């Protein structure tokens, strides 16, 4: 793959670009971004080699779409319109059902691979891009059967070279499961941060008393609202379902405390301690 196009040169797209340049030093990495300043920054940081526009996509071997999911819905069909028959396109969106439905009947659906690399940080923009972000991370592939075999092989080789684990899932199941393990986590962090800010108006007190537990729990509240609002919108039904279950658990815990049933409080936490064994088993 000689000509690589990254649409969205922030954390996700920029990290792909850095690793691709290291893995395939002879490749040309082009950047497309609605913010000119991001492209300039990405060039200065040597994340991309040069700027490009949609008309240049006809020479692409690989296109990576790493922009908010609402923008992906609009951009993906336009990308497929421009590419050659030999190009492979994949996105990195945290929702998959709506995106897959958008291009279901596109003449070049076979050129698109629906992907979700489960990797990232709370930071955004080109300066957030890091080498090795995807090593040992899971990449969920949806509707692989809809992608031409020879083209999907190109993308799967890249994922393998990056050190990623591959899981296959249908879009509906992906969106349901990711609501629990990702989307709910972000809402919880945002609302914890909001609760503390609303209660502790003296910010100095917050920073003086914020230990590592609070910092690690609220870390995701630093994530980009521009990225996460469209995710919650596209996965609204699943996210509301997870919120209902989460809120019920919080109410149950509160009731136990109100009833001075701290034996049950202990048992609830002890039972949940099992999550460390589950997480250690999937590293």
* pLDDT recorded at residue 212: 75
Pair 233, 98: CB distance under 8 Å: no
Q: What domains are there in the chain, each with its CATH number?
A: 3-170 (3.40.50.720), 174-281 (1.10.3660.10)
CA distances from residue 161 to 9, 93, 231, 279 in whole angstroms, order as listed: 21, 21, 28, 24
The band of 282, judged by pLDDT with boundaries at 50, 70 and 90, is low
- Quick one: pLDDT at residue 202? 67
Q: Model's pTM, two decimal places?
A: 0.89
In residues, how long is the chain?
A: 283
Q: What is the 3-state secondary structure (H, E, C) of the chain?
A: CCEEEEECCCHHHHHHHHHHHHHCCCCEEEEECCCHHHHHHHHHCCCCCEECCHHHHHHCCEEEECCCHHHHHHHHHHHHHHCCCCCEEEECCCCCHHHHHHCCCCCCHHHEEEEEECCCCCCCCHHHCCCCCCCCCEEEEECHHHCCHHHHHHHHHHHHHCCCEEEEECHHHHHHHHHHHHHHHHHHHHHHHHHHHHHCCCHHHHHHHCCHHHHHHHHHHHCCHHHHHHHHHHCHHHHHHHHHHHHHHHHHHHHHHHCCCHHHHHHHHHHHCCHHHHHHHCC
pLDDT at 95 over 80: yes
Tens digit of each residue's pLDDT (9 = 90 or more) over 2-31: 999 999 999 999 999 999 999 999 999 999
Q: What is the pLDDT of residues 57-85, one digit of tens each?
A: 999 999 999 999 999 999 999 999 999 99
What mean pLDDT is predicted for residues 111-116? Answer: 98
| The pLDDT of residue 5 | 98
SS3 assignment for 190-237: HHHHHHHHHHCCCHHHHHHHCCHHHHHHHHHHHCCHHHHHHHHHHCHH
Task: Provide the pLDDT for residue 207.
Answer: 67
Q: 10 Å Cβ neighbour count for 33?
A: 24
Res 120: pLDDT: 87
């Amino acid at each position: 793959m000689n000509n690589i196009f990254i649409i969205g040169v922030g954390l996700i797209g920029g990290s792909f670009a850095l690793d691709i340049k290291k893995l395939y030093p002879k490749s040309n990495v082009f950047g497309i971004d609605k913010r000119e300043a991001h492209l300039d920054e990405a060039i200065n940081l040597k994340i991309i080699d040069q700027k490009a526009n949609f008309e240049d996509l006809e020479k692409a071997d690989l296109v990576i779409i790493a922009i908010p999911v609402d923008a992906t819905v609009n951009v993906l069909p336009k990308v497929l319109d421009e590419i050659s028959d030999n190009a492979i396109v994949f996105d990195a969106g945290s929702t998959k059902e709506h995106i897959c439905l958008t291009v279901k009947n596109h003449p070049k659906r076979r050129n698109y691979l629906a992907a979700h690399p489960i990797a990232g940080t709370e930071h955004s923009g080109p300066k957030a891009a890091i080498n090795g972000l995807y090593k040992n991370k899971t990449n969920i592939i949806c509707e692989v059967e809809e992608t031409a075999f020879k083209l999907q092989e190109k993308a799967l080789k890249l994922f393998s070279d990056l050190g990623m684990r591959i899981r296959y899932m249908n879009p509906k199941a992906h969106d349901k499961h990711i609501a629990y393990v990702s989307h709910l986590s972000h809402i919880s962090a945002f609302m914890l941060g909001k609760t503390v800010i609303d209660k502790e108006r003296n910010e100095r007190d917050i920073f003086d008393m914020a230990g590592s537990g609070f910092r690690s729990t609220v870390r995701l509240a630093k994530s980009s609202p521009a990225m996460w609002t469209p995710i919650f919108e596209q996965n609204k039904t699943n996210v509301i379902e997870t919120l209902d279950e989460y809120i019920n658990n919080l109410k149950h815990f509160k009731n136990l405390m109100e009833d001075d049933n701290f034996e049950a409080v202990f048992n609830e936490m002890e039972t949940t301690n099992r999550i460390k064994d589950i997480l250690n088993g999937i590293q």
